[in-house]
Amino acid sequence: MSPEIEAYRDTARTWVESQIAEFGRDARKGLSEADDLALGRRWQAAKQAAGYSAISWPKDHGGQGLTLLHRLAFEQEEIKHGFPNDYFGVSLGMPVPIVLRHQPGDWTRARAEAALRGDEIWCQLFSEPSGGSDLAGLRTSAKLDEASGDWIVNGQKLWTTWAQYSDYGVIVVRTDPSAQKHKGLTYFWVDMKAPGVTVRPVRLAEGRSEVNEVFFDDVRIPDSQRLGAVGGGFGVAMETLTIERYQATDPAGFGPPLQLFIDETKATQIKGKPAIEDGRVRERIARTYAMQSAMAAIYQRTLLSLAAGLQPGPEGAVHKLVSVRARQKLSEYAMDLQGVNGLRYDEELSRKESWAKSWMTAPTGRIAGGADEMLLNTIAEKILGLPQDHRPDKGVPFNQIPR
């Protein structure tokens, strides 16, 4: 990092540390989800007032007009303390920027300002029951009502993060089933309180319900809410997914740090001796340390590319694939070492503090933001240069593809 970025980081660190008592991990313990969301809204407002929200957004969009490196420096300091960012990551990461880009104006600017303060939340309605990772395989339909000019939407979306709290969302729907699967899609923004929109939270294994299934029953979307051309929805969707491509990451896969495992192996006994003296345990520590060091090196390369004005390549797929898989394996190993005690589940602990919660949430992490299989394809095709898998649906009208 340049001296300028490090100076910015130092200032940000001082401010972040001044906010820990009010908004940090300990302040959130014992809160209901409603109270935690309220705390999160106040945290967003505090960041916005201090100039740490939308750091890399253009100034005419309500941002600070700084670089991605400035934003990453702030996020690296923020992520250490468990602030209530969960509810706003998707909203500010992709939907709001894409609407600002395609429909600039006073109304959109007001929505962006409300989102930056935490007053409003947006969701992203992409995945469906029959097409999770295959975005072009979606079946939610939109038909044009010639009389009114509105689009009538019917179908279901799934795994929509924080849809139950969202005021608006962006959605990709199929407007031409006779076109090839990538070409018959159109992109809109939608009012989540519109008649015919039903949101049902999905309870995950750990007990939380941050994802939802969303049903659309004859929901009317004016054509003025269309983003991009009719039939150009897949391109806008890809644009959305690359807007906030580079974020602060964690070699531990957003699970407990390796040091926690080391500390616990010192306190755990195997045949009357500390577990850390066992060769198998020490090998696991060494392997995990080597893996995390490699992931940190990949991320550092990304930062150096950004600093040089370059666009980092697909190596982020390696980071996400390896780090979350390794987190799941280490969490399982840590639970096994604790025996029966490893099955104890403390609701008050986060997934970075509890091996049980980390193990329970790791499968979700391996799906969200690109499933393992997608990442393996990216690595094979973009890094290793292997040929693409055979696609029997290529060039075939969508309505002729067998279900």
Query: Model confidence at 314, in pLDDT bands (50, 70, 90)?
Result: confident
Convert the pLDDT of each residue in 196-205 to its tens digit.
999 999 998 8
Range in 130-134, 223-227, 322-326, 397-401 with the lowest mean pLDDT: 130-134
CA atoms of 69 and 396, how far apart (whole Å): 43
Nearest partner of 160 among 197, 189, 123, judged by Cα: 123
Query: Model confidence at 132, in pLDDT bands (50, 70, 90)?
Result: low
Asked whether the predicted pLDDT for residue 173 surpasses 90, the reply is yes
Asked whether the predicted pLDDT for residue 7 surpasses 70, the reply is yes
| Structure-token pair, residue 270 | 């195997």
**Which pLDDT value is given to residue 247?**
67
Asked whether the predicted pLDDT for residue 33 surpasses 90, the reply is yes
Where b means 16+ CB within 10 Å and e means fewer, 143-166 reads eeeeeeebbbbbbbbbbbbbbbbb
Query: Model confidence at 261, in pLDDT bands (50, 70, 90)?
Result: very high
Asked whether the predicted pLDDT for residue 346 surpasses 90, the reply is no
**Which pLDDT value is given to residue 381?**
92
| Structure-token pair, residue 298 | 């990949």
Tokens 């945290």, residue? Answer: 43
**Which pLDDT value is given to residue 319?**
86
Q: Mapping DSSP to helix (H, G, I), strand (E, B) and coil, where does residue 154 land?
A: strand
How many whole angstroms from its chain centre is CA 32? 22
Asked whether the predicted pLDDT for residue 133 surpasses 80, the reply is no
Query: Model confidence at 43, in pLDDT bands (50, 70, 90)?
Result: very high
- Mean pLDDT across the stretch 111-127? 96
Q: What does 187-207 look like in DSSP terms, one character per residue?
A: EEEEETTSTTEEEEEE--TTS
Give the C-alpha distances (Å, rounded to integers) separating 151 from 92, 214, 218, 221.
Answer: 26, 18, 9, 5
Asked whether the predicted pLDDT for residue 242 surpasses 80, the reply is no
Based on the residue annotation, tell me whether 244 is a catalytic residue of this protein: yes
Instruction: Tell me the percentage of the chain whose pLDDT exceeds 70.
Output: 99
* 189 vs 131: which has the higher pLDDT: 189
Asked whether the predicted pLDDT for residue 246 surpasses 70, the reply is no
Which amino acid belongs to residue 211? V
Which amino acid belongs to residue 343? L
Instruction: Please pick, among 33, 113, 244, 353, the residue that the annotation labels catalytic.
Output: 244
Asked whether the predicted pLDDT for residue 51 surpasses 80, the reply is yes
Tokens 């740490």, residue? Answer: 52
Query: Model confidence at 248, in pLDDT bands (50, 70, 90)?
Result: low
**Which pLDDT value is given to residue 202?**
95
- List, in sequence order, every beta strand (DSSP E) within 30-108: none
**Which pLDDT value is given to residue 244?**
61
Phi, psi of 206 (to 5 degrees): -80, -5
157 forms bridges with which residues in the sheet? 214
User: What is the rounded end-to-end Cα distance, in angstroms, of the chain?
Assistant: 51
Asked whether the predicted pLDDT for residue 18 surpasses 90, the reply is yes
**Which pLDDT value is given to residue 341?**
87
Range in 216-220, 332-336, 352-356 with the lowest mean pLDDT: 352-356
CA atoms of 46 and 75, how far apart (whole Å): 15
CA atoms of 117 and 120, how far apart (whole Å): 8
Query: Do β-strands 211-222 and 197-202 pair in parallel, antiparallel, or remain unpaired?
Result: antiparallel
- The pLDDT mean for the chain works out to 92
Contact 219, 197 (CB under 8 A): yes
